[in-house]
Amino acid sequence: MQDLELVKRYREIRVADVVDALDRYGFHDRVLVSNEIKPLYTGIRMAGYAVTVRANRVQEEFPSLTPEEYDRYAGEWYGKRANYEHFMKHAGPGVVIAVDLDGYNDVGFWGSMVGLSAKAKGVEGIVLNGGCRDTYEIRKIQFPVFCRAVGRTEVVGRIEIKPENVNVPVTIGGANVNPGDILVGDDDGVVVVPKKVAAQVLERAEKQLNLDRESQKPYLDRTGIKL
């Protein structure tokens, strides 16, 4: 069960504070998601418990079909071979979805339809080791996305999602992510907080932020800037 208060507190601090706290617990750079995985738009503040997905690249030839036949083929693919419900049924408030797309950057795994569905469920965001499409609409709905690339294709004929590959250890941008770890993201990128130290790291990160604010206060007062 997710501690939504813990998620809220993580969302209110900076990735930099979390990274500094993790340094002090000996985790250092191995918890940093590669800065090649970037926020789709600025101003994102995201935190949540990881629901993980390891998607598989498909090595098959596309069938030669009429448009109508391809519609049926696509429907069957989404129903049987890439059913998003395998992981979406685990997603809700306090959850960040973490997807390893097997290095397939051209696939638009995440689009505005599933983004709207996730937003309606209260999902906190998604971190993709791959591509997102419908990017204009994703920005319009303000669903937090961190991705490696802008993809254009659908998953049909390219990617499979198997139920046994949901909530398993994955690697996202060089960082290991286990189900239930905390993912924190902002304009600086994404960091992984191992679940066993989530509470301690949060307290230390809040302390880091408060110390920083105390140091900044004379300059903030002088300039009239509010952070």
State pLDDT tens for residues 116-143: 999 999 999 999 999 999 999 999 999 9
The phi and psi torsions of 56 (rounded to 5 degrees) equal -120, 135
Residue 2 placed within a domain? no
Which domain, by its residues, includes 44?
A: 34-191
Q: Where are the strands (E) in 4-83, listed by range?
A: 38-39, 46-54, 56-57
pLDDT tens per residue across span 169-196: 999 999 999 999 999 999 999 999 999 9
Cα 191 to the chain's mean position, in Å? 10
Residue with the two structure tokens 């290991």: 176
- What domain count does the chain have? 1
CA distance 25 to 42: 29
Residue 26 placed within a domain? no
pLDDT at 1: 66
The reply to whether the predicted model has a pTM over 0.85 is yes
pLDDT tens per residue across span 18-32: 999 999 999 999 999
Residue 134 placed within a domain? yes
95: domain CATH number is: 3.50.30.40
CA distance 24 to 26: 5
Please give the structure tokens belonging to residue 146. Answer: 């961190």
Residue 5 placed within a domain? no
